[in-house]
Amino acid sequence: MVVKRKRKTSAKKTSTRRKAKTTVKRSVKAKKTVRKAAARPKAKKATKKKGGKRSSGLTKMTYTLSAELQAIVGAKSATRPEVVKKLWAYIKSRKCQDTKNRRMIVPDAKLAQVLGSRPVDMMKIAGLISKHLK
């Protein structure tokens, strides 16, 4: 008499059944989240302006320049940012910065009429220019 042994397939079957149940549960949850996402109204994207940079009223205001500042800048009227930009171009072209401490500006004859004869810190320039803007 030959006795057949039972295979241990029943344990494998239960494990596959468990896997099938969990995948079904997961797919149901996934469907619910998709439904919720579809039901929510989509947020509108912010539209960007074509300019890139914002411009405020301060950058648009034109000032009449004093005669001393006109000699450096080369214009009779300009906005404050334009004046600062041209002033820095003048300072760099004439090498008016101190060689050791680049923050200090050593004025030449033309700059001395606007900034004063003493060396000036670069952050003080804006305040000294305001006297020459009208």
> Is residue 18, in this structure, part of any structural domain at all?
no
**Integer angstrom CA distances of residue 132 from 67, 72, 101, 102, 108:** 8, 12, 26, 24, 17
> Is residue 41, in this structure, part of any structural domain at all?
no
**Integer angstrom CA distances of residue 51 from 44, 45, 54, 67:** 21, 18, 7, 34
Regarding predicted confidence, which is higher, 61 or 37?
Answer: 61
pTM above 0.85, yes or no: no
Domain containing 109 equals 58-132
Amino acid at 30: A
Q: Report d(CA 120, CA 126) in Å as an integer.
A: 11
Q: Is the per-residue pLDDT at 116 higher than 90? A: yes
Predicted confidence at residue 57, as pLDDT, reads: 82
CB 117 within 8 A of CB 107: yes
> Is residue 34, in this structure, part of any structural domain at all?
no
7-53 per-position pLDDT tens digit: 665 555 555 566 555 555 666 666 666 666 666 666 666 666 566 67
Cα angle, residue 64 at apex, residues 63 and 68 outer, rounded to 5°: 120
Whichever domain contains 120, its CATH number is: 1.10.245.10
